[in-house]
Amino acid sequence: MEFLDSFKSELEVVSPGRINLIGEHTDYNMGYVLPTAIEKNITFNFQKNGTTDTCSVYSKTFDTGFEFNLKEVARSEVEWRNYILGVVNEIQKRTNRLQGFDCILESNLPTGSGLSSSAALECGLAFGLNELFNLGLTKLEMVQLSQTAEHTYAGTQCGIMDQFASVMSKEGHVILLDCQSLESNYIPINLYPYKIILLNTKVSHNLATSEYNVRKKECEEGVEIIQRKYPKVRSLRDVTPEILDACKMDLPEVIYKRCSFIIAENKRVLDMTEHLKKNELERVGKLLYEAHEGISSFYEVSCPESDFLVEFSKKYDTVLGARQTGGGFGGCTLNIVHQNGVEAFIKEAFAAYKSKFDIELEPFEVKPTGGTSAKELV
């Protein structure tokens, strides 16, 4: 791409991926989640290019890029471009101050790992363009437009958690986010002497074409049925275990299982918050195992590789708990492991996984970190 030869960055933006300690698939059901940003991220460099309409974006990670015109923004057949184009489209609905720009981005986030590289891409771009052109968007507006971009251009009907965590996180904390009211509280997380170890299964999922949107529809079907007896119910957030039991005979078995998981998962988020405040680490771990059982058996978004790793972790006294994290069907398992047992656990999990699936695990430690940030370079 021609602009690379003369590119001089005016602004650098670092946009992190995220983990969700607990609260899977509760966000689009207007429930509670407990995410945080992590050190793995996408770095963006921006420059104004002096044109009114021409924009160029280049990925160093994949050595590929594309150009587009601000007057002709439309969905692309190339998947990753839609995260960029969707954000630009949403920004232009809100302001006419956007002009031609060039952007170089580089990622150390494993794609398809359940660490929300898509939200990091969306939010980093929105954050950078907001700074570069003084658009006056608030952090919440950038979160919301990034979520809308994922709905309209990428085709994934995601909740707001990923984008919220990517932008709003605070180092050393998880966010207790109410996805209905968008009220949030920072909860300190101190797991010492334990560490958060992610094991990337290397099994990739594409949320836009997977069962993710199907699960959302199944939950909506459950709400519609429950509303016949309980008209005030607006989402599964409003459904208590007692209400669900009263409607059990009206719900198809699969729909009942989906609803049951979401209701139990919301409670686990609130319980986890209290255990973190009291430093009850063994209970934190127990909730992770309970959550994975629900993910696998009730919501059915796990996979043999994730199930194997979670079950494998139960052999170790040094592991408090584990579960699949992310949208599902692969990605990473999240493990809370005593610092003295990390090396042995990783080594033996690597060997067992390689023997079982002939795939090499990618293990790494993560720590709660701050959200998207920018610094001017010129």
Of 27, 63, 102, 162, which residue is the catalytic one? 162
CB-based contact 126:20 (threshold 8 Å): no
In this structure, what token pair is assigned to residue 40? Answer: 């793995």
364 contacts: CB under 8 Å, gap ≥ 6: 40, 197, 198, 200
CA atoms within 13 Å, Cβ hemisphere of 195: 16
DSSP annotation of 110: P
Rg (CA), the chain: 21
Distance, CA of 189 to CA of 208 (rounded, Å):
32
Strand order in the sheet with 64-69: 64-69, 54-59, 101-107, 35-48, 11-20, 373-376
- Going by DSSP bridges, is the β-strand pair 64-69/319-325 parallel, antiparallel, or unpaired? unpaired
Distance, CA of 248 to CA of 17 (rounded, Å):
38
Q: How many CB atoms lie within 10 A of CB 255?
A: 20
Distance, CA of 75 to CA of 212 (rounded, Å):
21
Residue 76: is it exposed, middle or buried by C-beta count within 10 angstroms (0-12/13-18/19+)? middle
Kind and range of the H or E run holding 37: strand 35-48
Distance, CA of 44 to CA of 14 (rounded, Å):
6
Assess whether 162 carries a catalytic annotation: yes
Distance, CA of 83 to CA of 351 (rounded, Å):
36
> Which residues are designated catalytic?
162
